[in-house]
Amino acid sequence: MKLLRGTLIALLLVVVAFAEAAAQSRIKDIDVHLNGNDLTARTSKRLDNNGNPCGLLKVSVLADNVEFQGNVIGDVVRHGGTYWVYVTNGTKEIHMDSPAFGEVALRFAEWGIPRIESLAVYTVTVELAEAAAAAVRRGYVQFSITPANAFIEFNGQQLDVTDGAAYKLVPYGSYSYKVQAAGHEPQSGIVTVNSDKVQVPVKLRSNKARVTVTAETPGSTIYVDGAMKGKAPWQGELIAGSYVVEARHEGYRPREVSVTLAAATERNIAIPALEMIIGELNIEYQPIGSQVILDGKTVGTTPLSFSEVAAGTHTVTIAHSGYDTATLSVTVSETGTAPVTGTLKKTTEKDIPAIRRKIEQAYNNKNYEKARELALTISNDATAQFYLGRMYEKGYGVAKDDTQAVEWYRKAAQQGNASAQTNLGFMYKNGYGVAKDYAQAVEWYRKAAQQGNANAQNNLGVMYKNGYGVAKDYTQAVEWYRKAAQQGNALAQSNLGFMYKNGYGVAKDINEARRWYEKAAAQGNQNAKDALKRL
C-alpha cells in the first residue's frame, strides 16, 4: 500500500513538472525585481484580511485572461499590458495561468527575493515565446475629440492629437484615459478593446465664461488683453481668469476696465462713453458756395470752418454744379488746424453724356459713393438728379432720406425725366417724404405714362381701378394695364388677367385671362402663378 502511494505521488510530480515545462516552453523569459522608486503600493494602498498592507506585483505580459492564485488580495486590475496584483506580506510564490502560455509558478527566491514585503512594488516582466506572442490579439482604440486642441493621457501615456483625432494599437483589454483642454471640464473613462477597432467619441463640456461687452460710444472696437475681438456689442467666451477689456475708436481716447471671470459664468461688461479728441478743420475751396460733404453728410457750403471735429481721418467731398467733384482724405489732429483748399475744375457740356454713362455704370456696379460724386458734378442734369433721388430713397451710399429723395425726384421730374416722374408719383401715393396726395400721384404717373413708361402706366391703371385720386374707372384701368402689359410689364400682365377673369372694364374671358396670367407667370410673378392654379 505504501509502495502504491509513493508511486502515485511520483507520477503526480512528473505531471506537474511536465505542465510547468510545457508552460515554460511558451515563455521566453521572466524577470522579477524590486522597484524601489515606485510608490504605488503606498499611494494606492490595499490591506489584507488582517488589516496589514500588501505588496504590489506589476506583471507585464502581452496576454489576455491571465489569472493569478496564491495570497492574492482583491481583484486584479489590468492597465493595458500590465496586471496589478496585490499579495500579502511574506508571500514566497504565486501562480499565473493563461490560455496563451498555460500555468506557471513564480517562486520569488529564484530572483533573489526571499519574500514579498508590505508596501513594496515588484516589477514582473514575462516575455512570451514567438508562438505565444503571435496568439495575442490587438486592436486600435481611436478617439475623436472636441475641442480639437485637447490632449489625451491614455493609460498613463500621452498620445498625439491631430485635428481632434488620436489612436493607438494595443492588446485586447481595458484601459484608462483622461482628456483635458483649457477652458473645458476634463473627462476620464475606461475603454475596453475587444475588436479590431474601438471608437471613442469625447466631447468636453466648456466651462468658459460667456461675456457680453457693450460700449456707450457707437462704433467702438473691443479689445481683450490687446487682441481685437470685434465691434461693440461683442459676445464671446473667455477662459476663467483676469483680463483687461478695452474700447477703442478713432478720434477718441481709449478706455479700459479690468475684470476677473469665474468659470462657467455669464458676465456683462459695460464700457462708459469715450472722450472725444477734438481738432479743427478749415475748408476754403473754390468756387465759393460749393457743397461740402463730410463723411457722407452734407454740412454746408464753402468757405466753412469747424472748431470741434473728432481727431482722425475724414473724407471731404466738394461739389458744385458745373464742376467736377473733388473727394479728399484729411487727417485732423488734436493740435493745429487741418486745411482743405483748392479749386474745382469746370465741367464742359461735352463731358455730360460721358458722365451720365459713368453714373449709370457705377450705380449698377453698386459703387454708390462714386455714382453720387459723379452725379453732383452735373447736379442740374435730370439723369443725375434721378440717381441722386434713387440713392436717397434706398439709402445707397448715403443715409436713407425720403425728403431728400423727393427733392431730387422733383427736380428731375420737372425736367421731364419719366423715371423720376414715376417715382415721385410713388412717393406721393404712399406719403414718403411728402404728405400723401393721390391727386399729385396721378398727375405724375400720367406725365410718365404718356411718355411710355410701363411702370407708370401700370400704376396709373391701379389708381383708376381703385379710384385713388380719380373717379373709379375700370375701362381706363384696362387701357393703361394693356399699354404696360404689351411692353412686357409683369405686374400689368397679371392685373390685366385679373380684369379679364372678373369682367372688369372688359367682357369676361377666362381664356384671355389665362393668356395674360401665363405671360406674367413666365416672368416669375407669384400672383399670376397662384391665379392660374385657381382657374
Q: Among residues 431, 421, 496, which one has the least CA distance to residue 452?
A: 421
181 touches 203 (CB < 8 A): no
- Residues in contact with 133: Cβ distance below 8 Å, sequence separation at least 6, in sequence order: 62
CA angle 378, 287, 404 (to 5 degrees): 45
Which cell numbers hold the place of 441? 400721384
In whole angstroms, what is the distance from residue 114 CA to residue 93 CA? 10
pLDDT of residue 296: 78
Q: Report pTM.
A: 0.47
- Specify whether the backbone of 268 is left (phi greater than 0), alpha (psi in -120 to 50) or beta: beta
363 touches 307 (CB < 8 A): no
Work out whether strand 234-238 and strand 173-180 pair parallel, antiparallel, or are unpaired.
Answer: unpaired
In whole angstroms, what is the distance from residue 455 CA to residue 464 CA? 14
pLDDT of residue 22: 43
CA angle 295, 301, 306 (to 5 degrees): 60
Diameter of the chain measured on Cα atoms: 142
In whole angstroms, what is the distance from residue 489 CA to residue 494 CA? 9
Half-sphere exposure of 342 (CA within 13 A, CB side): 16
- Residues in contact with 7: Cβ distance below 8 Å, sequence separation at least 6, in sequence order: none
Q: How many residues does the chain have?
A: 535
pLDDT of residue 466: 96
In whole angstroms, what is the distance from residue 42 CA to residue 36 CA? 12
pLDDT of residue 138: 82
pLDDT of residue 381: 92
pLDDT of residue 136: 66
Gyration radius (Cα) of the chain, Å: 45
Q: In what order do the strands lie in the sheet with 93-98?
A: 67-69, 93-98, 102-107
In whole angstroms, what is the distance from residue 265 CA to residue 263 CA? 6
Residue 466: its H or E element: helix 454-466
Q: Among residues 377, 346, 372, 345, which one has the least CA distance to residue 360?
A: 372
pLDDT of residue 102: 83
Averaged pLDDT in 10-residue chunks for the chain of 535 residues: 45 41 68 93 94 95 87 90 93 90 90 95 88 69 94 92 93 92 93 93 93 94 95 93 93 92 92 90 93 87 90 89 86 89 85 90 93 88 95 93 96 96 97 96 97 97 96 97 97 96 96 96 95 91
- Residues in contact with 8: Cβ distance below 8 Å, sequence separation at least 6, in sequence order: none
In whole angstroms, what is the distance from residue 253 CA to residue 275 CA? 5
Specify the amino acid at residue 205. R
pLDDT of residue 134: 52
pLDDT of residue 242: 94
- Buried b / exposed e over 80-115, threshold 16 CB at 10 Å, is bbbbbbbbbbebeebbbebebbbebbbebeeeebee
For 274-340, give the DSSP string.
PEEPEEEEEEEEESTT-EEEETTEEEEESSEEEEEEESEEEEEEEE-TTB--EEEEEEE-SSSEEEE
140 touches 196 (CB < 8 A): yes
In whole angstroms, what is the distance from residue 153 CA to residue 180 CA? 8
In whole angstroms, what is the distance from residue 496 CA to residue 529 CA? 14
Q: Both ends of the chain: CA-CA distance in Å?
A: 117
pLDDT of residue 351: 82
In whole angstroms, what is the distance from residue 59 CA to residue 46 CA? 17
